[in-house]
Amino acid sequence: MSSAVAGSENEAVVWMPDGSPHSPRFSDRYHSRSGGLAQANFVFLAGTGLPTAWRGRDRFSVLETGFGLGLNFLSTWAAWNADPQRCESLRFVSVEAYPVDATDLVRSACNADPEDQSMPSIAARLPVLAEQLAQAWRGLSAGIQHWDFAGGRVQLTLAVGEVRAMLPGLDCQADAVYLDGFSPALNPEMWSAEALHLVAQHCRAGARLATYTVARSVRERLQQLGFRVEKCPGLPPKRDRLQAVFGP
């Protein structure tokens, strides 16, 4: 299966000999050397208090910068599926300037380690969910698109375009934020003061934010925007990661 953004080619993904995906554009890996599933679970879900945070809620919203290969979305959806105390509906809103091909979404999900013990009930669900996502991905175009899954209880809004151009047009009040662009050194646009300001405008008071980077510029910008920032143990080989709570 393939898909294409109108008027452009899909973003190239190079699969390394160890099975990890690499971006030629940014000369960087798509996820930690510990694996994409481990990063999604340890850095982003656990970093924003999920699945506990959505329990007892009618609706829970996640905002992400950097959809990439979709593992954060798929892992969040799988965790929601596996949780008998899940919220009634889950909304996931993400921005991606360079969408990959649908086949790479599926390959990434199928490469997830089924023996991963961070959330063992999730890995086996990923390929099935990725196939559903790939079906929706066909015909992807620039701009904002909305897809419903799980009988409409899981909603994905994907904004295809540059982060600073797309964020103002999104209708989202986030309970959780995943900051997951390529590293600030290689992709400064994603981590700029303007981009983070736009992210903060979409946050509810008390929204929890997570990211793998502890770059000083990111920490300081988040603090200036009203986030209470905490450096936490990272996913090896990284020593640290960030968690933050929005309290303007």
pLDDT digits (tens, 9 = 90+) for 151-171: 999 999 999 999 999 999 999
Please report which helix (H) or strand (E) contains residue 130, including its range. helix 126-137
pLDDT digits (tens, 9 = 90+) for 177-187: 999 999 999 99
Strand, helix or coil for residue 233? strand
> What is the average pLDDT value for the chain, to the nearest integer?
91
Q: Distance (Å, rounded) from C-alpha 174 to C-alpha 92?
A: 9
- The answer, yes or no, to whether residue 197 has pLDDT greater than 50, is yes
Predicted pLDDT of residue 146:
96
Please report which helix (H) or strand (E) contains residue 144, including its range. strand 143-149
What are the chain's domains?
21-246 (3.40.50.150)
Predicted pLDDT of residue 126:
93
- The answer, yes or no, to whether residue 123 has pLDDT greater than 90, is no
Question: Is cis: bond before 237, omega within 30 of 0?
Answer: yes
Long-range contacts of 148-151 (CB under 8 A, 24+ apart): 149/77, 150/77, 150/81
- Phi/psi class of residue 70: alpha, beta or left (left: φ > 0; alpha: ψ in -120 to 50)? left
Q: Distance (Å, rounded) from C-alpha 90 to C-alpha 74?
A: 12
Decide: residue 84, CB within 10 A, 0-12 exposed, 13-18 middle, 19+ buried. exposed
Which string of b and e fits 90-127 if b means at least 16 CB within 10 Å?
Answer: bbbbbbbbbbbbbebbbbbbebbeeebebbeebbebbb
Q: What is the DSSP letter of 139?
A: T
Question: What token pair was written down for 188?
Answer: 């400064």
Q: Distance (Å, rounded) from C-alpha 119 to C-alpha 135?
A: 26
- The answer, yes or no, to whether residue 4 has pLDDT greater than 60, is no
Predicted pLDDT of residue 248:
72
